[in-house]
């Protein structure tokens, strides 16, 4: 799996949820007749985020946060086969972010400003995608 979209925002306590909602809205506006699912880690398991996704016609495949509380993910969604598959595939996406932090140097960025950090992130993820495509055999180096 390769990352294809991103959303940037200032670092606040709820920016990641509202940013992901904005990304879901943009994707649902571009869609044709295919269903859209949105995978996310358990930090997104909040009632307002789940409701926002459902209101846009996006099925939230959010990891359930059941530590000391009830998950906001409806049982009807959590019990479908696609949800379980999505949770397995989510780990593959996390590999890209791990690579970006260890190899790509975004664990502690050396640039300041939202625009510059965004540019660094895009270049790092493009390098990751090229590395993955090479590993998957989708591109060949010249002379091979």
pLDDT tens string 97-119? 899 999 999 998 889 988 999 89
Domain residue ranges in the chain: 15-136
pTM higher than 0.75: no
Range scoring the smallest mean pLDDT among 29-38, 64-73, 88-97: 29-38
pLDDT at 99: 94
pLDDT at 123: 93
CA separation for the pair 105, 38 (Å, rounded): 27
Q: Evaluate the CA torsion angle 11, 108, 114, 127 in order and state its sign.
A: negative
């Amino acid at each position: 799996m390769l990352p294809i979209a991103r959303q940037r925002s200032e670092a606040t306590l709820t920016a990641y949820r509202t940013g992901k909602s904005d990304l879901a809205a943009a994707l649902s506006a571009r869609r044709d007749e295919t269903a859209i699912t949105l995978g996310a880690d358990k930090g997104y398991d909040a009632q307002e985020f789940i409701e926002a996704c459902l209101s846009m016609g996006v099925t939230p495949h959010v990891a359930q946060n059941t530590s000391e509380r009830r998950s906001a993910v409806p049982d009807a969604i959590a019990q479908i086969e696609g949800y379980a598959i999505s949770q397995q595939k989510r780990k593959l996406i996390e590999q890209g972010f791990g690579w970006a932090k260890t190899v790509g140097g975004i664990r502690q960025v050396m640039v300041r400003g939202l625009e510059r950090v965004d540019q660094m992130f895009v270049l790092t993820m493009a390098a990751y995608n090229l590395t993955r495509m090479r590993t998957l055999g989708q591109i060949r180096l010249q002379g091979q």
